Every structure is written in structure tokens, then in C-alpha cells.
Amino acid sequence: ATTLGAAAAQSGRYFGTAIASGKLGDSAYTTIANREFDMVTAENEMKIDATEPNRGQFNFSAGDRVYNWAVQNGKRVRGHTLAWHNQQPGWMQSLSGGTLRQAMIDHINGVMNHYRGKIYAWDVVNEAFADGNSGGRRDSNLQRTGNDWIEVAFRTARAADPAAKLCYNDYNIDNWTWAKTQGVYNMVRDFKSRGVPIDCVGLQSHFNSNSPYNSNYRTTIQSFAALGVDVQITELDIQGGSATTYANVVNDCLAVPRCTGITVWGVRDSDSWLGENTSPLLFDRNGNKKAAYTSVLNAL
Ligand code: XIL
């Protein structure tokens, strides 16, 4: 195979990228994105602030631009994200208690109803666990509505679109020895044992010197998969752009049948949320394939 998407498809997997609606007029960008990837995540356009800027008033214009570009070019779409402490619109930031809980439910219903039947997997809840050694939940307005907010979000999501896979997505849950990883693992195990609907875990996989790739990544993927959920690598970028590390990530996913796909968080280094100078992606600013690209293609 000569593209990432086709190479991943050889083992029944996908290879995706984050797409920014504001770059869809850049033909250098869309040419690479269309050629190489077969799964799309909207980088910001399906988040809470974008889709419900005023309470009860939904706006899907930017989300639909990304969605339509993807589908018109034969790609599937991951939905990102429905319940998160970040990128909440101002009106939601100021809510609490039962009012916020209901607003979360209404938001999930509003967005999932619009995209009903059209999304491969939704990141239903994003980044709900704390960094550090607690293994517990992150404090947030959503968390303060009660510890059951995550399962309420998943039950709401299942009813809203039974066709979508429902994922829990987070960063710093790739290192098996970290308390945060164990906290999420225990939640997923509990959800599976109690029949709370969850289909997948998203490992964001933003690797840098503070959160480096670790060779226990494969153990993490295997351990989540053994709970009976798919694992998806949802936001991969590697600061410094090590070709070896990129190959390790691919090999670890391919070693686990339930690791169903990999998404990189942007197309060219100059598109990265981390800044071009960190060289985290697979193409340089001129659209040239980097060593990391070749390494990924050969590993797939
Ligand atoms: C980032 C986007 O890439 C930026 O454009 C935006 O300014 C902030 O959010 N974890 C996530 C993603 O789940 O939604 C974040 O995306 C990166 C970290």
C-alpha cells in the first residue's frame, strides 16, 4: 500500500487525522488529507462551545463542513467530544448542580441526534480523570454534579444513537504504571460489569518528554481490550517526531486485534496545536513526507 489509510486497511484498521474546517480551502492541506487518511476527527468543530454556543441553540455549520468534506471524500468520522470540562461555552461554565446535569444531557441529545447514524465512534466523555497519583476524577463543574455523571453521559449517548461506538477518551492513560491509567481502567471494568454502555477507550497519545511513549503501551492496549472494549489511538503526536517511536506505536496497536485504528492530531507540523517547531506530525510544512511517515507506512 502507498498511503496510510490503505496500509491500515490491510489489517482492517483505519488511519485518521484531525481536520480543521478553516483549512479546507488550502488545497495543499486537503490533497494530503484526502490521499492519506480514511477517518476524520473535527479538531474543534464538534466540541460543546462550537455546537451549542447558546443554551438550546445548536450550530452545526462548522461541524458539518468537516463532516461533509470527510464523507464526500469517502471517509468515516469520529465525533469529538460531548462532555468535557474544557471548551465549554460561557453559559455552561456558569452552570452547576442539576441544571448543569440536565444541560449536559440535552447537549448530548442535541448533537448526537443531528449526527445520528453517521458517526463511527463518539468521544462521549473527554479527560475526566486527574493527573498525578490519585487515580481519581478531575475536579470540574461536571464532576461536582455527582460521580455518576460519566455513566449518565454514556447511557444518554447510547439511547441517542445506538449505531455509534461510545468511547471514553483521555491523555496520560497510555502508561500502564500510572495511577490515572489504573483509575480509568477500573472505571471501564466497573461499567462493563454493571452494563453501563461503553464500547471503546481512546488513548489520546500526545507524547512528549514529560509524558513519553513507554514500552508498556502495548500492555495498556491489551489490558483495556481484555475488558471487552475497542481501543483507538485518537490524537497521536510525538514531540520531536521520532520515527522509531511512531513505529513502536503502530506495532503496539497492530499487536492487539481490538486496537481498531490510529488518528494523528493534524496533517503537517505547521497544522499542529503544539506548534511547528516541535515537529510532532508526519508531514513537514511543505507537505513532504517525514522519516516518521515512512516508518509508520512500513510498520502498518
Ligand atoms: C485542541 C485543538 O487541537 C486546538 O486547536 C484547540 O485550541 C484546543 O484543543 N485533547 C483533546 C483535543 O481532546 O480536543 C485537544 O485539541 C488537544 C488535547
For residue range 114-163, what is the model confidence (pLDDT) as tens digits?
999 999 999 999 999 999 999 999 999 999 999 999 999 999 999 999 99
Amino acid 113 reads N
Set of cell numbers at residue 84: 468535557
- 235 a catalytic residue: yes
pLDDT at 125: 99
Q: Among 118, 125, 202, which Cα is nearest to 163's?
A: 118
DSSP string across the chain: --SHHHHHHTTT-EEEEEE-GGGTT-HHHHHHHHHH-SEEEESSTTSHHHH-SBTTB---HHHHHHHHHHHHTT-EEEEEEEE-SSS--HHHHT--HHHHHHHHHHHHHHHHHHTTTT-SEEEEEES-B-SSS--SBPP-TTGGG-TTHHHHHHHHHHHH-TTSEEEEEESS-SSTTSHHHHHHHHHHHHHHHHT----EEEE--EE-SSS---TTHHHHHHHHHHTT-EEEEEEEEETT--HHHHHHHHHHHHTSTTEEEEEES-SBGGG-TT-GGG--SSB-TTSPBPHHHHHHHHH-
Output the pTM of the full model. Answer: 0.98
For ligand 1, atom 5: residue with the closest CA: 273
pLDDT of residue 128: 99
Selecting among 36, 52, 235, 276, the annotated active-site residue is 235
Residue nearest to atom 3 of ligand 1 (CA): 273
Contact 21/45 with Cβ under 8 angstroms?
yes
The interface predicted TM-score (ipTM) is: 0.99
**Nearest CA, atom 12, ligand 1:** 43
Using the mean position of ligand 1's atoms as its centre, give its distance from the Cα of residue 159 in Å. Answer: 27
Between helix 243-254 and helix 291-299 the angle, nearest 10°, is 20
Residue numbers of the chain with a pLDDT score lower than 50: none
Is 44's C-beta closer than 6 angstroms to any atom of ligand 1?
A: yes
Ligand 1: which atom is nearest the Cα of residue 20? Answer: 5
pLDDT value for 21: 98
Does the beta carbon of 123 lie inside 6 Å of ligand 1?
no
Look at residue 213 in the predicted model and tell me its pLDDT.
98
- Give residue 23's identity as a one-letter amino acid code: K
- Phi, psi angle pair for 258, to nearest 5°: -85, 5
Using the mean position of ligand 1's atoms as its centre, give its distance from the Cα of residue 193 in Å: 31
- Alpha-carbon distance 173 to 220, whole Å? 8
Q: 59 vs 67, 90, 210, 240, CA distance in Å? A: 13, 15, 37, 37
Calculate how far, in angstroms, residue 279's C-alpha sits from the geometric centre of ligand 1.
17
Q: What's phi and psi for 204, nearest 5 deg?
A: -60, -50
What pLDDT sits at residue 30?
A: 98
